Amino acid sequence: MTAIIQVDGLSKSFGEVRAVNSISFHVEAGEVFGLLGPNGAGKSTTIKMLTTLLPPDAGRASIGGYDVVRHATMVRRIIGYVPQALSADGSLTGYENLLVFAKLYDIPRREREGRIREALKFMGLEEAADRLVRTYSGGMIRRLEIAQSMLHQPTVLFLDEPTIGLDPVARAAVWGHIMRLREEFGMTILLTTHYMEEADGLCRRIAIMHLGNIAAIGTPAELKASIGDPEATLDKVFVHYTGGELETGGSYREASRARRTARRLG
Ligand SMILES: Nc1ncnc2c1ncn2[C@@H]1O[C@H](COP(=O)(O)OP(=O)(O)OP(=O)(O)O)[C@@H](O)[C@H]1O
């Protein structure tokens, strides 16, 4: 296996806050890799540096061999990114949203319609293509945002909490599509999630972040063995490495995010 994401001593501070503290890890091509950690652990800051949105203070990172600082344009060409905040426009249809992204990605005019139809089909949104996005459910919006991020056929996809605020059925549907991206296109996927059971079942390897550091890294089985309990749940592993700051579904934070989502969509 080759490392498609390579991170060495990456750091970022905001004033006095050391958000990411000299972390190193790699992700292999075709892997689904989970970044877990309590609020404020540094997950989003890490993703923002890897997606070229934030310059690191120190250290280096490369995607597909391209340095995220020196070759940022090349990195942007080969990655897709679905941020935590909503990126779909509720006042446009699903198709129109995708068209905006197809233009942003400079997809040649003659290829646009085909790529958009393909992405809609892949994410199970064909029927809803011509409906305003404000009529979509939360799970459909997430799937549309993933469709947006795959239009330019990236080799690495970054998903920041792709299933936050969704009910279990919608979460399962989003996960099903994420796994198909990996299986059918060999995409490498790096994601963050607060849902431990999902990370356990779906990520090949996991890094647990705490206070800007990587507290533990490995396959779910390796992480469980590392706390001396191969039968442990991933919740227990998480609590072990982060000092009991597990955030469960239905928290205020999640609810307020879901509400923000609803407001954005009018
Ligand atoms: N733009 C910013 N300005 C100041 N501080 C920031 C900024 N972005 C992040 N931080 C701080 O850096 C730390 C890490 O934040 P980050 O968003 O990376 O954590 P996270 O693990 O993604 O958390 P969450 O699960 O809440 O998204 C936190 O203390 C946060 O308050």
Residues 210-254: pLDDT tens digits? Answer: 999 999 999 999 999 999 998 899 999 999 999 865 554 444 455
Atom index in ligand 1 nearest the CA of residue 209 equals 21
Centre a 10 Å sphere on the Cβ of residue 219 and count the other Cβ atoms it contains. Answer: 12
| CA end-to-end span of the chain | 46
Nearest CA to ligand 1 atom 26: 39
The pLDDT of residue 248: 46
The pLDDT of residue 2: 80
Give the integer Cα–Cα distance in Å for 233 and 239.
10
Cα 41 to ligand 1 centroid, rounded to whole Å: 7
Question: Residue 145 belongs to what H/E stretch?
Answer: helix 138-150
The torsion defined by the Cα of 93, 188, 23 and 216, in degrees rounded to 10, comes to 110
> Could you give the domains of the chain?
3-264 (3.40.50.300)
Query: Under a CB-based contact definition with an 8 Å cutoff, are residues 212 and 21 in contact?
Result: yes
Give the integer Cα–Cα distance in Å for 227 and 234.
11
Question: Residue 222 belongs to what H/E stretch?
Answer: helix 220-226
pLDDT of residue 1 exceeding 80, the answer is no
Give the integer Cα–Cα distance in Å for 126 and 174.
15
Give the integer Cα–Cα distance in Å for 56 and 13.
9
Q: Is 39 in the pocket of ligand 1 (CB under 6 A)?
A: yes
Query: Under a CB-based contact definition with an 8 Å cutoff, are residues 184 and 168 in contact?
Result: no
Residue 115 phi, psi dihedral angles, 5° rounding: -65, -40
Q: Is 80 in the pocket of ligand 1 (CB under 6 A)?
A: no
Residues 180-218: pLDDT tens digits? Answer: 889 988 999 999 988 888 899 899 999 999 999 999 999
pLDDT of residue 67 exceeding 50, the answer is yes
Nearest CA to ligand 1 atom 5: 14
The pLDDT of residue 266: 40
Tell me if residue 87 falls in helix, strand or coil: coil
Burial class (CB in 10 A: 0-12, 13-18, 19+), 224: buried
Residues 35-63: pLDDT tens digits? Answer: 999 889 999 999 999 999 999 999 999 99
Residues 114-138: pLDDT tens digits? Answer: 999 999 999 999 999 999 999 999 8
Residues 93-104: pLDDT tens digits? Answer: 999 999 999 998
ipTM: 0.96
